[in-house]
Amino acid sequence: MEFLKSSKRRSFISELVYIGLNVAFAITLLVILLAIESPLPAFALVLLSKWRILAVRPRYWFVNILTNLVDIIVSLSIVILIYTASGAIGLQIILTGIYIAWLLYVKPRSKRSFIAIQAGAAVFLGVTSLMIVSYDWIASLVVLVMWLIGYSAARHVVSSYDEPHTSFYSLVWGLVFAELGWLAYHWTFGYAIPGAGDIQLSQAGLIALAISFLAERAYSSYVKHGSVRSSDVIMPALLSVSVIIILLTLFNTISTGAI
């Protein structure tokens, strides 16, 4: 009994330490971004926090990097959004709180529903932050980063199933995102958010999230039934298509501002 009590006590203390370290990490990122007018030190801290990826034999590095790509994309995107919201301290604190929730509640979960949420977060935040910072980039770099976001999100979802063609599906979805990135580079809209500083809600990010949601529902239906059942995808398809049509018609005719 004493052993069980001691084990529970150590577990409780470890949980508190885990929570404290993650909260402190997120707050440290905010403080750095407030104190230094550059996101580069925060980027460096995020990458340094992933030291465990390389704390194994070199032959496992590539696999570990792939496994952690979604978390890295979300973390770097949050840094970009907090930095872009300069002057809107309330929003910066809210974004920090969202990041804490990601670290403590969303990221550690392994259920497929949470895996889909993790991938969706990487898609929306990754594409949105990319569209914010890439206005003076060359097209090929935007296309490459979009491919990476699509590839990592697809791999994150597909690898949660017993799927022998994970790499193939991930590469295909990366290609879809690369094409979307090429289009977005030449023609995209951003929707201003009152009180959000220079942050704009990316049309490309919303479209990428919509098509990713539909693809995930279709793939899930295929895995469960051996085919894509219309009853599983009709509502997601209607929702995704409706969102895209509204974005490309109604919200392209009102004053929004190009990113």
Residue 171 sits at φ, ψ, to 5 deg, of -65, -40
Structure tokens that stand for 41 in this block:
């030190």
Nearest CA-CA partner of 67 in 110, 16, 97, 34: 110
The Cα–Cα gap between 252 and 155 comes to 32
Q: 72-128: per-residue pLDDT in tens?
A: 999 999 999 999 988 888 899 999 999 999 999 999 998 999 999 999 999 999 999
pLDDT value at position 253?
53
Nearest CA-CA partner of 79 in 22, 126, 21, 134: 126
pLDDT value at position 207?
93
Residue 50 to residues 46, 47, 89: CA-CA distances in angstroms?
7, 5, 27
CB-based contact 120:238 (threshold 8 Å): no
Q: 3-state DSSP call for residue 120?
A: helix
Confidence band for 226, pLDDT divided at 50, 70 and 90: confident
Q: Is the pLDDT of residue 45 over 60?
A: yes
pLDDT value at position 230?
87
Q: Is the pLDDT of residue 184 over 50?
A: yes
pLDDT value at position 251?
67
The Cα–Cα gap between 116 and 100 comes to 19
Please state the pTM of the whole predicted model.
0.88
Range with the poorest average pLDDT among 39-43, 86-90, 97-101, 202-206: 86-90
Q: Is the pLDDT of residue 4 over 50?
A: no
The residues that bridge with 191 in the sheet, in sequence order, are: 201
CB-based contact 74:125 (threshold 8 Å): yes
Instruction: State the chain's maximal CA–CA distance in angstroms.
Output: 70
Supply the DSSP symbol for 86.
T
Question: 78-82 long-range CB contacts below 8 Å, 24 or more apart?
Answer: 78/29, 78/102, 78/125, 79/29, 79/33, 79/39, 79/42, 79/43, 79/46, 80/39, 80/129, 80/132, 80/133, 81/125, 81/128, 81/129, 81/132, 81/199, 82/29, 82/30, 82/33, 82/42
Q: What is the mean pLDDT of the chain?
A: 87
Q: 121-171: per-residue pLDDT in tens?
A: 999 999 999 999 988 889 999 999 999 999 999 999 999 998 889 999 999
Confidence band for 194, pLDDT divided at 50, 70 and 90: confident
